Amino acid sequence: MSVSAPRTAIIAGQGALPALLLAALQSAGVPHLVAEMDGFPADLPGADPVRFRVERLVPFLDHLAGRGVTRVCFAGAVRRPRLEPEFFDARTATLVPRLLAALQAGDDGALRFVIGLFEEFGFEVVGADQIAPDLVPGPGILAGSVTEADERDAARAAAIVAGLGALDLGQGAVVAQGLCIAVESLPGTDAMLDFAALHLARLRPDPKGARGLLYKAPKPGQDRRIDLPALGPETVRAAARAGLGGLAWAAGAVLLLDRAAMEEEAGRAGLYLWSRQP
């Protein structure tokens, strides 16, 4: 393949998503390469990733263009890196005021800055669902069944998540019998479910009533090309350990990292999986 052939670059973080997208590109025969931020290895065997630092972002973008990249997809989790002034090149240094302003604006502001910068350099930024659309299911119940009480809890949870998102705080909540048991914040979904496991049983008003649910959705107005919420088999197992009745999420807006395994885990634990129409 010629180095001038158009390519898709996966900007890979940690977790299962980069490997799923890499497999989708390989299956479709799409030319591609993988890049990862220094200090945040994606652990993709055989990928031979290009490594970059934020302090040398402009040379990295030049390198992508030189490798024939025209399309970019961000996938996986990264933490905000500690910036080291001595590593900045002259051109990237000119971006520092914009970068600092974006970081101070929260996660959404930082993500908008990143997308905008890549677009300024002529790259098309696409979401994971454009590379692997099967990862984002439409409306429907994938496992188990949903009661009217579950529907009420889901509506309550959706309103809570919308409020959290408007404040740039999180993308998930645990609700049982109309009560908010836990919300997602910086520690993430696993920490939220660990908290729910400790407190859910004593906080439910009716021990024989609805067991509650985990609900996930993007933030209102979120650019869905980056940082879509994701659920996987371990999320189902954690929800079962917490004593919940099921998982619900905004249909068409949440990534399922292994749908078959999630359905299997849900069936084993007696949980429902509900891709809910927002």
Please check the confidence at residue 1 and state whether its pLDDT lies above 70: no
Cross-strand pairs, 268: none
Predicted confidence band of residue 10 (pLDDT cuts 50, 70, 90): very high
- Give the pLDDT mean for 31-46: 89
Closest C-alpha to 75, from 259, 225, 189, 217: 225
Domain layout of the chain by residue ranges: 7-131, 136-276
Closest C-alpha to 176, from 227, 216, 215: 215
Please check the confidence at residue 251 and state whether its pLDDT lies above 70: yes
Predicted confidence band of residue 43 (pLDDT cuts 50, 70, 90): confident
Tokens of 86: 């001595």
What pLDDT, on the 0 to 100 scale, is given for residue 100? 82
Strand order of the β-sheet with 32-37 is 50-52, 32-37, 7-12, 69-75, 124-126
**CA gap 12, 99 in Å, rounded:** 20
**CA gap 146, 231 in Å, rounded:** 19
Please check the confidence at residue 192 and state whether its pLDDT lies above 50: yes
CATH architecture under which domain 7-131 falls: 3-Layer(aba) Sandwich (3.40)
What pLDDT, on the 0 to 100 scale, is given for residue 99? 82
Predicted confidence band of residue 3 (pLDDT cuts 50, 70, 90): very low
What pLDDT, on the 0 to 100 scale, is given for residue 233? 97
Q: Which of 102-111, 176-185, 240-249, 267-276 has the lowest mean pLDDT?
A: 102-111
In tens, the pLDDT along 47-106 reads 889 999 999 999 999 999 999 999 999 998 877 778 898 999 999 999 989 888 877 766
Cross-strand pairs, 125: 72
Judge if 7-131 and 136-276 fold alike in CATH terms: no
Q: How many CB atoms lie within 10 A of CB 104?
A: 9
pTM here is 0.87
Give the side-chain half-sphere CA count within 13 A for 16.
13
Predicted confidence band of residue 5 (pLDDT cuts 50, 70, 90): low
What pLDDT, on the 0 to 100 scale, is given for residue 234? 97
Please check the confidence at residue 252 and state whether its pLDDT lies above 90: yes
In tens, the pLDDT along 117-156 reads 999 999 999 999 999 999 999 999 999 999 999 999 999 9
Predicted confidence band of residue 4 (pLDDT cuts 50, 70, 90): very low
Q: Per CATH, is 136-276 categorized as 3.20.20.70?
A: no
Q: Using alpha carbons only, what angle is made at residue 31 by residues 30 and 35, rounded to the nearest 5 degrees? A: 115
Q: Which is more confidently placed, 192 or 108?
A: 192
> Cβ distance 28 to 132 under 8 Å?
no
- Give the pLDDT mean for 108-117: 83
